[in-house]
């Protein structure tokens, strides 16, 4: 990995890593947690007849890699797939944790890194597997998306303000770019050079991204995965799952 790209090879990733791939010609990225055994736990919008959004993942009806590909609990957006089905012929990227502010600013595109530190791999995998069995609430493109899911699995951090932007750097970039352009527009009257205006706009964009990063925000708290449904009141949580619907970590590692 470097400043220009987080692209990695399959041999570079380890269980507990936060990985992602781009969809729709780099229009957006899809994130998940690699849990080993060429398998990924990730969060998607539950497909219904009322939705046709870009984050609905078409799960394979028959996967040549392993028979449990596409496993999910009823009405849950958390799904287990093989790495091939997760990537959907896209390239593999690794999300970076614990980066310095200078590196964070150098990553122009959001949704690629955070200044927050990652928890140990075994803790990350435990959260992902627990949420696979119990769900992660309702999908929301700005407040509770696939990147939010992966960030929570890696850090255990959740935002306190449910009305604000979520933890996703990708969502923060979508909001930050127009905001930066809007805030910098009055400066056009003071700056004769278009280069100066562009520089200020870019600076405001980077600052808006940094201000919403979970590593520097003050409205985030550490929440145990077992307490998510109780504390947040998420609908459809399955605290107790029937044995016939359970998938053990031992099965994942196979």
Which helix (H) or strand (E) segment is 134 a member of?
helix 121-134
Does residue 96 contact residue 112 with C-beta atoms inside 8 Å? yes
Catalytic residue, chosen from 82, 85, 146, 206, is 146
CA distances from 220 to 2, 64, 77, 122 (A): 28, 41, 23, 22
Does residue 86 contact residue 21 with C-beta atoms inside 8 Å? yes
- 126 catalytic? Reply is no
Phi and psi angles of residue 238, each rounded to the nearest 5 degrees, phi first: -120, 85
The 10 Å Cβ neighbour count of residue 228 is 23
SS3 state at 35: strand
Dihedral, CA of residue 31, residue 77, residue 54 and residue 80, to nearest 10: 50
Catalytic residue, chosen from 18, 42, 113, 206, is 42
Phi and psi angles of residue 92, each rounded to the nearest 5 degrees, phi first: -100, 130
- 42 catalytic? Reply is yes
- 30 catalytic? Reply is yes
Does residue 213 contact residue 176 with C-beta atoms inside 8 Å? no
The 10 Å Cβ neighbour count of residue 211 is 11
What is the distance between the alpha carbons of residues 124 and 34, in angstroms, rounded to a whole number? 10
Catalytic residue, chosen from 30, 69, 82, 113, is 30
Residues marked active site are found at 30, 42, 146
């Amino acid at each position: 990995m470097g400043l220009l790209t987080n692209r990695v090879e399959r041999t570079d990733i380890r269980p507990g890593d936060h990985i992602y791939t781009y969809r729709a010609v780099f229009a957006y990225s899809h994130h998940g947690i690699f849990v080993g055994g060429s398998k990924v736990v990730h969060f998607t919008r539950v497909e219904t007849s009322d939705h046709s959004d870009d984050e609905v993942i078409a799960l394979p009806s028959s996967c040549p890699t392993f028979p449990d590909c596409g496993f999910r609990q009823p009405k849950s957006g958390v799904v287990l797939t093989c790495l091939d089905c997760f990537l959907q012929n896209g390239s593999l990227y690794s999300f970076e944790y614990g980066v310095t502010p200078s590196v964070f600013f150098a990553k122009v595109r959001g949704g690629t890194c955070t200044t927050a530190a990652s928890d140990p791999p075994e803790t990350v995998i435990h959260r992902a597997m627990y949420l696979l069995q119990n769900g992660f609430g309702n999908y929301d493109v700005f407040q509770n998306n696939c990147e939010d899911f992966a960030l929570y699995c890696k850090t255990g951090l959740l935002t306190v303000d449910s009305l604000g932007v979520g933890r996703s750097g990708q969502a923060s970039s979508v909001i930050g770019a127009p905001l930066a352009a809007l805030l910098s527009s009055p400066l056009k009257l003071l700056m004769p050079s278009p280069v100066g205006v562009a520089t200020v706009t870019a600076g405001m964009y980077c600052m808006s991204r940094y201000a919403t990063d979970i590593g520097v925000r003050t409205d985030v708290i550490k929440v145990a995965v077992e307490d998510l449904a109780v504390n947040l009141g998420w609908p459809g949580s399955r605290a107790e799952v029937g044995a016939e619907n359970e998938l053990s970590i031992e099965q994942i590692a196979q």
